[in-house]
């Protein structure tokens, strides 16, 4: 029965990739307006921080301040792109454009649709963090070739924020509620995950909160890999990312499934 039904519709990987392909098609349709900003943003940042702030702060946690931030920014870039993709965009596809309804009238399941979504957000995380690494490496703030490992962590970060954002989306009935998510959750994460300054010297309460932020672990892995400073805590951070992704992904799958098929 099982082998029989496997021939009756496309295999798992083809289904996931077909959802990915839809998003890829939409994204590459406006290549310039979608593909250029990821490279422009780190440039603007370099001008702003490089010419401005780094005159006052030269060093952070033993490395130059620009290198410190340059190794954190690929992850915030991956975080924001995945979060936008799987909150506002997902909500629009779910409620307004009925893109998922279309997919569910073809041989795709709810899991296929959601996994394709997560895979696409991971891909965007990879691409966006790669753009930042490339710009920063050009100016010598990220060492190569170790810096080229950062986009892979960017992929994991994209996946992790995709599942988190999908889980948040599953609770949202009005698109404006995402403002709370971005202001209340992602902005604090941007400031307290060791991107702008190290979290090690924060007051205890904030320190624990910062350790619980998933972005902290992504940034830690990126920085340690980039400067090739491998420590056992890397494995702990990786485990945290995996568990966080599985947990939020499970919530998203449970709850969004009920919104798509009822």
Partner 1 sequence: MRSSEYENIIKVENVYKTYKNGTAKAVAGVSFSVTPGVCFGLLGPNGAGKSTMMKMIYGVSYRDGTPDSGISVFGHDPGRNALPIRFLSGIVPQENNLDEELNVEQNLKVFCRFYNITGSQAQDRISELLSFMELSEKQSFGIKQLSGGMKRRLIIARALLNNPRLLVLDEPTTGLDPQVRHLIWDKLRRLKRQGMTILLTTHYMDEAFQICDSVFIMNKGKSVAEGNPQQLVNKHIESYVLEVYSKESFSVISKNVTEKCCRVDDDGADVTRIYSDDYERLREFSKQLTGGDFYLRQSNLEDLFLKITGSRLNAQQ
Residue ranges that bind partner 1, judged by CB under 8 A: 5, 8-10, 14-15, 17-18, 21-22, 25-26, 29, 97-99, 101-109, 260-262
Q: Considering beta carbons, is residue 98 or 231 the nearer one to partner 1?
A: 98
Least distance in Å: CB of 86 to partner 1? 16
Cβ 186 to partner 1, closest distance in Å? 25
143 contacts: CB under 8 Å, gap ≥ 6: 137, 226, 227
Least separation in angstroms between CB 197 and partner 1: 40
Q: Are 38 and 77 contacting, i.e. CB atoms less than 8 angstroms apart?
A: yes
Which lies closer to partner 1 via its Cβ, residue 105 or residue 174? 105
Distance CA 125, CA 82 (A): 6
DSSP secondary structure letters along 6-74? HTTS--HHHHHHHHHHHHHHHHHHTHHHHHSHHHHHHHHHIIIIIIIGGGT--EETTEEHHHHHHTTHH
Q: What gap in Å lies between CA 152 and CA 133, rounded to an integer? A: 11
- Compute the least distance from the CB of residue 110 to partner 1, in Å: 9
At closest approach, how far in Å is the CB of 133 from partner 1? 29
User: Quick count: other Cβ atoms within 10 Å of Cβ 79?
Assistant: 29
Q: Of 175 and 202, which CB lies nearer to partner 1 in the complex structure?
A: 175
| Comparison of 171 and 208: residue with beta carbon closer to partner 1 | 171
Of 171 and 247, CB closest to partner 1: 171
């Amino acid at each position: 029965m099982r082998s029989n039904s496997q021939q009756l519709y496309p295999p798992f990987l083809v289904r996931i990739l077909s959802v990915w392909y839809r998003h890829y098609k939409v994204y590459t349709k406006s290549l310039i307006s979608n593909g250029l900003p990821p490279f422009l943003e780190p440039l603007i940042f370099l001008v702003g921080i490089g010419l401005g702030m780094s005159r006052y702060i030269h060093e952070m946690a033993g490395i130059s301040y620009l290198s410190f931030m340059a190794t954190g920014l690929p992850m915030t870039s991956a975080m924001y792109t995945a979060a936008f993709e799987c909150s506002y965009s997902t909500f629009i596809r779910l409620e307004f454009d009925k893109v998922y309804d279309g997919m569910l009238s073809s041989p795709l399941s709810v899991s296929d649709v959601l996994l394709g979504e997560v895979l696409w957000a991971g891909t965007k995380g990879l691409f966006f963090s790669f753009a930042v690494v490339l710009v920063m490496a050009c100016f010598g703030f990220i060492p190569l070739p170790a810096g080229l490992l950062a986009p892979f962590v960017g992929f994991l970060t994209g996946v992790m924020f995709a599942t988190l954002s999908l889980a948040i989306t599953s609770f949202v009935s009005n698109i404006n509620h995402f403002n709370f998510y971005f202001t209340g959750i992602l902005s604090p994460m941007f400031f307290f995950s060791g991107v702008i300054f190290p979290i090690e010297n924060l007051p205890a309460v904030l320190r624990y909160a910062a350790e619980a932020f998933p972005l902290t672990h992504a940034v830690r892995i990126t920085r340690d890999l980039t400067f090739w400073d491998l420590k056992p805590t890397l494995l702990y951070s990786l485990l945290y990312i995996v568990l966080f992704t599985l947990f939020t992904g499970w919530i998203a799958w449970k709850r969004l499934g009920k919104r798509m098929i009822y």
